Chains A and B, each alone.
Chain A
Amino acid sequence: MFRNLLFALLIVTLLVACGPAGISTPTAVSTEPPASAEPSAPPITLTDGLDRTVTLAGPAQRVVSLAASNTEILYAIGAGAQVLGRDETSDFPAEALSLPTVGGYSGFNLEAIVALHPDLVLAGGINTPELVASLEQLGLTVYFLPNPATLEEMYINLETVARLTGHESETAALVESLKARVAAVDDKISPLSYRPTVFYEMDATEPTKPYTAGPGTFVDLLIARAGGLNIGAELQGQWAQISLEQLVVANPAIIILGDAAYGETPEKVVQRTGWLTLAAIQAGQVFPIDDNLVSRPGPRLVDGLEAMAKLLHPGVFK
């Protein structure tokens, strides 16, 4: 029996050793972290979203991003070359996909993060305070970027990351262009008097009780900004559930499928029992949208705004 136990342990060892190697031996990062780009620059001190004081000697050159939105921000402001690692949900832009991953769906791999020797770990609203504490415990510098509630707060986040990575001037230009695009949308929307009612579908696994974006969510904000009326604004909670009956009564003019990435298509929606009575379906006003454009709190929210505006007011936006 003793032998059997040893045998079993051997099997387990083999299984484990044969598992994917994951992060390979970090020979590439075996040197000490390089000195900051401008040794004479003053240290950067900021207060993050958890009220923590974070200090960097200089702009971060080795960044690990723990949230998809942070990854998008980093690349958008031109700091892509300074990013060493990402979480599994980060899938934009395409260059990010070649970065090694450090976890994401079911916890983060502390060893992997440490082995990359980052000088900054950028956490987002989706990460837990426990994770931040753990990384801090290991001697890493962590900055927690809170979730913005408005577009203005999103611009501030861009500027914060710019300061952390030394891309202030590019980011200022980026923010200006974003503001201009938003203003352009506002200008075209404001003279319009028609505001279509919108049902933004987040999840319809139960077709009689789908989920939509409630008040205070970014989707809600963007729908309003794009010149629409979100049915979900009347409900409660961020993930608001609405019954099919209520939906029929509300009778939205447009249905936007935020769950298109999970396989929902306008054709499938037509086949749902009871949905045929909705005016939007009969008029063919069911459209998919890339949910990442409207839910990830990064610069692509402006893309999302424009996409939304095009769906709601096709006559005005070509």
Chain B
Amino acid sequence: MSNPLTREQHLDLYYFMQLNRQLEERMVRLFRQNKIVGGLYSSLGQEGVSVGTCYALEKKDWIAPMIRNIGALLVKGVPPRDIFTQHMAKYTSPTQGKDGTSHFGDLKVRHIVSPISMLGDLIPVMTGVAMAGRYLGQKIVALTWIGDGGSSTGAFHEGLNLAAQQGAPFVLIVENNQWAYSTPVSRQVPVKNLADRAVAYGIRSWIVDGNDVVAVYHTTKEAVDECRAGRGPALIEVKTMRMRGHAQHDPAEYVPKQMFEYWKARDPIALYEKYLTENKIWDAKTKAEIDARIERELDGEQKFAEESPMPPAELAEEGVYCEGCHAIEATWQRAKAEVSPPASSFEPGWEVKDYGAFAEVETIRKEIAAPAVSAPVGNAAGNGAKVSKPIVKAEGKPQPKPPVRAVESEAPEVPRVPFGRGPKDKSVREAQNPRDRRAHQNPRDKRGRR
């Protein structure tokens, strides 16, 4: 477990989650008053994900949010007025009215890459950010979010595979909010846990309760720290629930009532308030002070946005090209000589250790021929889906530590233990590691289907 949070940090998490929620509730009112130009997408119920993940990053790290990650923008230091003005298409917005919602970025100060509506495409982009940061010696981590829906795109696969192949310091938060527009997860993907997909890329993965902001923070912090230490990309599946429709126009009647009720009882802010009280981190007075501060801040920010002008029409013609308006300069934190000839020179050729798949096939043949009881589980672990041996029988039993094959030198310790707030913490249901393949193996039914 990472270092425990200080009181101030605990209160920060509350502040950002509540700020996120109050900001969005104000926008719902603005939407109903016809002051939001386009659509409005709610992150109600998911505040703990945006806030907990982003809070685990350092100032120099890079994020690329999705539409429901307004909380992450706030943690990164984006003032609420930017969110208001973006939605209201005002000239004072970060894009000056050229795009809406949370579609804006900040390369220079806050290190935010703008979202794109075609989900998954930011995964390769942030892989590139991570690679460039490493190349420049900046020791940064790049983090982005993808939903359960977006995890089915081709860009998701291409990006994650490239990140893994490059060992890029990249963290992917798979924000499983149960619904891709009107389609439930079970109708999108055949796996139980979206984190299972990490096995296919040979990267580390975690599963965490997204409505427990402290658990989300600690899990992300651990993944980010490992990433920064050079252990390659990480994937965290965050289980949460979208408590509204896809956007304001969608009443989400396709969601079973009981499901809303179940998750309403697990509201991340209510849970966290209870946690702060039970652990005597705050009292009613502190809460009232923070809430009042949020109201005060949002009053001013909303006023600014409402009083801002629309962009002048001629702006539509400007800015297609960068013609001297931006100076492009990489920030080097290593000596350029290291990457300049002759220091960088290289003897071309591949290091191929085992000359292909034949040796592997032989190993697998022997494994399958051997009695199941002596199945060399360790051989299956760590190499992805190479073996179709029925090792699922180990499920439900105490899992022995599998022998780790020396595939990579930087193998993390296995298997992962749950972490979070302590040993009794149930918020982290199952901690996973690609080397512990059984954790990812889904039981097959009688017909052999997963």
Are A and B interaction partners?
A: no
Interface residues in chain B, defined as those with a beta carbon under 8 Å from any beta carbon in chain A:
none
Interface residues in chain A, defined as those with a beta carbon under 8 Å from any beta carbon in chain B:
none
